[in-house]
């Protein structure tokens, strides 16, 4: 991989502190720059001030859902092409399908993936 490539910056929006911390740590160790927030308002604020290669977005968040944030990302000319992965523990196919229809690249069940597997998945998606 060319070391001169653009820095891969990731926005992580996850309200569970433990999960957010471990994902941030593993992604950072995997060579990514990660901004991590516990709610949608902070995530959207960061999105308006920074450029990201990928957004890891929890569906169930306090205040505003991940789908609400996804709609905002995809409706904004500046952010609509950012790759979004939905993070969920839900088995609710309808919510996941709605997220994919709104433009999420894919979804990951948090319970079925290790932090290292998440890093590998992100590396695959970002090439």
Is the full-model pTM beyond 0.95?
Answer: no
Q: Which CATH superfamily is domain 9-126 in?
A: Response regulator (3.40.50.2300)
Domain ranges in the chain? 9-126
Which residues, 6+ apart, have CB-to-CB distance to 3 below 8 Å?
Answer: none
**Separation CA 13–CA 43 (nearest Å):** 6
pLDDT score, position 1: 38
Partnered with residue 106 across adjacent β-strands are 85
For residue 107, is pLDDT > 50?
yes
Render pLDDT for 37-76 as a digit per residue (tens, 0 to 9). 999 999 999 999 999 999 999 999 998 999 999 999 999 9
DSSP readout, 23-66? HHHHHHHTT-EEEEESSHHHHHHHHHHS--SEEEEESS-SSS-H
């Amino acid at each position: 991989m060319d070391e001169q490539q653009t820095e891969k910056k990731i926005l992580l929006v996850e309200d569970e502190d433990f999960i957010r911390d471990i994902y941030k740590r593993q992604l950072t160790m995997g060579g990514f720059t990660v901004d991590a927030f516990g709610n949608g308002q902070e995530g959207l604020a960061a999105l308006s001030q920074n450029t990201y290669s990928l957004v890891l977005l929890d569906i169930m968040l306090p205040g505003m859902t991940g789908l609400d944030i996804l709609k905002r990302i995809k409706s904004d000319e500046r952010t609509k092409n950012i790759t979004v992965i939905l993070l969920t523990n839900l088995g609710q196919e309808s919510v996941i399908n709605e997220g994919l229809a709104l433009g999420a690249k894919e979804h990951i069940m948090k319970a079925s993936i290790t932090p290292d597997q998440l890093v590998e998945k992100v590396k695959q998606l970002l090439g």
